[in-house]
Amino acid sequence: MKKIIIAILAAGAVAGSACKKGFLDRYPTTEISPQLFFKSESDLSMYVYGLLNHPGAGIYSAEQSTDNCATTGGQTIITMMTGSPNSRNMPNAWGWSRLRSINYFLENYQQAKVTEEVKAHYAGIARYYRAMFYMDKIRTFSDVPWYGRTLNPTDTALLYSARTPRAQVMDSVIADLVFAAANVKESVPDGTPGRWAVKAAYARIALYEGTFRKYHPELNLAATANRFLDSARKQAQDIMSSGKFKLANSYTELFNSADLSGNKEVILNCPYDVTKRGGSSSNNNGYMFGDYEQSPSRDLIQTYLMKDGSRYTDKPGYEQFQFVQEFTDRDPRLSMTIVPPGFVRLPSTLPYVQQFANNFTGYHQLKGYFNFSTDAQVTGSTDVPSIRFAEILLTYAEAVAEMGTVTQTDIDNTIGLLRTRVAMPPLNMAAANAAPDALLAAKYPGVQGANKGLILEIRRERRVEMAMEGLRYDDVMRWYAGKSLEKHAFGMYFPGLGQYDLTGDGVADVILVSKSTTIPPDAQRLKNSLGVTLIYNKVGNYGDASVDIYLENGDAGGRILTGKSTRTFVEPKYYYYPVPYAETSMNPNLKQLFGWD
């Protein structure tokens, strides 16, 4: 108990070093002496595991800033595209207190009376966390000051240092990951990063940086891109060759399981048990079917292939396909990610009929919705796959394709496995390159060269396989595809007023009426051929608060609209945040980049 109390106090003292101006201008005078704490493995583990932070169920609601979703929430990137952002009004993401906590440990862990192997393990986890911290800063700001140790009030040069060039910071990030991958143990408590999770994170970071450098001309680092891509390939290959991981038999079991600790696809699990987590729950059920902020986009739905492997967007008239037809003969992952026609939502035994509300697409998200129990404690204890083997396969395929070393065997051993799991035809490299998808080519104009068609299809596969798992925003950013965010998400298509089947049984479920229609009392409303009362929805033009559904052409039909404001994504500026004005005022050596002021 004493050690627990000391650990809490130490962590509090370290965390307390941050203030409104950040840790750089304050030094804690009440910090617990490291000589009193860093003595045993228990001390090391208590401190390091106190740094644990992976998103858990948050991954299922983290794509509101992307082309996968419409959103009614306040998203920074949307505010940027519709306003006049600057260093005074942008969110402050310049916090450094977590880094101080990590560096404090790395400066003191050697005092513990344990073996060098044990010390290296915990140091590896801390350096993994430091790499993750700095990668987040790189994603946000690009060049940022590198601090490899905690600072004292007398460290004037460091306290007022300029930004460290991105290339230099990333070399330090990779050095931390190399150390962590070599020293973190394989066997660790469930829910904490072990060696394979570290290597998976290493692969993710290396792929991000390699593709970012390749596609972002403002950095002038394209010549070094392949070094990172090859690191991504190597880490992915190590995981694939280890024999410790394989795809789960069922795609849906990954997102509806009370216990993923034994699932061979899950590299880093986020276990939930609401009886042991102080009420912390993985249950997003009310969010997804209640006052949901995000709703899947029509663009995402159109990305899925037909079940025979052909492109949905090559079908004549696809833009006017209605809800039931959209889900007919498609990649099975579509109906495992987005609520399909005929879905039965517990505790009901009847097919669910979509709810409509202004600024929503009409589609509902299924991935992350736990439909195997009506007990909130049971569904709230559903584990979340923070990192899974499928991503490793995608990373390997993308890395070798971007480097130009890819073979059909590479594709068969990666994309092929993902498609086989859901009974989809394999991806043929030659065929993909012979006829690149024109729509994907327009979305990603930077993709060129002999493997253009293949790279586009790998991007499709990644979007489909990992949809609603929190990776899409980073993908859009690293691929220099910010312009794709200028478009508002569209929803379902309705050709006009009238009755429509949304459950797939051929019988109408809803009726769309004009805003001037007086909706009759329940007893007088129309019924379908099954004797079920139709659900009435008023339609009209965008912004009319008196209607339930905004259609492109009002009563004349069209796609559901979720917004009409003009969005402008300024390249390369909006791929980054500015340093907060308060920070540049205190430290004039911090200069703004990419046109920010």
Query: What local confidence, expressed as pLDDT, does residue 157 receive?
Result: 84
pLDDT tens-digit map of 235-263: 999 999 999 999 999 999 999 999 999 99
User: What integer is the mean pLDDT of 324-335?
Assistant: 98
Confidence tier at 18 by pLDDT (50, 70, 90): very low
Q: 2-11, 205-214, 354-363, 523-532 — which is least confidently predicted?
A: 2-11
Reply yes or no on whether the pLDDT at 16 is more than 50.
no
Strands (DSSP E) along 400-515, which ranges? Answer: 490-494, 498-500, 510-514
* 3-class SS letters over 170-194: HHHHHHHHHHHHHHCCCCCCCCCCC
pLDDT tens-digit map of 207-239: 999 999 999 999 999 999 999 999 999 999 999
Reply yes or no on whether the pLDDT at 2 is more than 50.
no
Please tell me the distance from the alpha carbon of residue 181 to that of residue 183, in angstroms, as a whole number. Answer: 6
Confidence tier at 14 by pLDDT (50, 70, 90): very low
What is the β-pairing status of strands 266-270 and 384-388?
antiparallel
Query: What local confidence, expressed as pLDDT, does residue 32 receive?
Result: 56
Domain ranges of the chain: 1-37+96-183, 186-271+383-470
Query: What local confidence, expressed as pLDDT, does residue 31 receive?
Result: 54
Reply yes or no on whether the pLDDT at 330 is more than 90.
yes
Query: What local confidence, expressed as pLDDT, does residue 88 receive?
Result: 97
Domain 186-271+383-470: assigned CATH number? 1.25.40.390
Please tell me the distance from the alpha carbon of residue 23 to that of residue 18, in angstroms, as a whole number. Answer: 4
Query: Model's pTM, two decimal places?
Result: 0.93
Distances in Å between the alpha carbon of 87 and those of 80, 206, 283, 492, 592? Answer: 11, 29, 36, 38, 9
Please tell me the distance from the alpha carbon of residue 140 to that of residue 200, in angstroms, as a whole number. Answer: 21
Average pLDDT, the chain: 92
Query: What local confidence, expressed as pLDDT, does residue 332 receive?
Result: 98
- Return the residue matching tokens 């986890």: 125
Reply yes or no on whether the pLDDT at 268 is more than 70.
yes
Query: What local confidence, expressed as pLDDT, does residue 19 receive?
Result: 29
Which residue from 76, 134, 79, 73 is spatially nearest to 102, judged by alpha carbons? 134
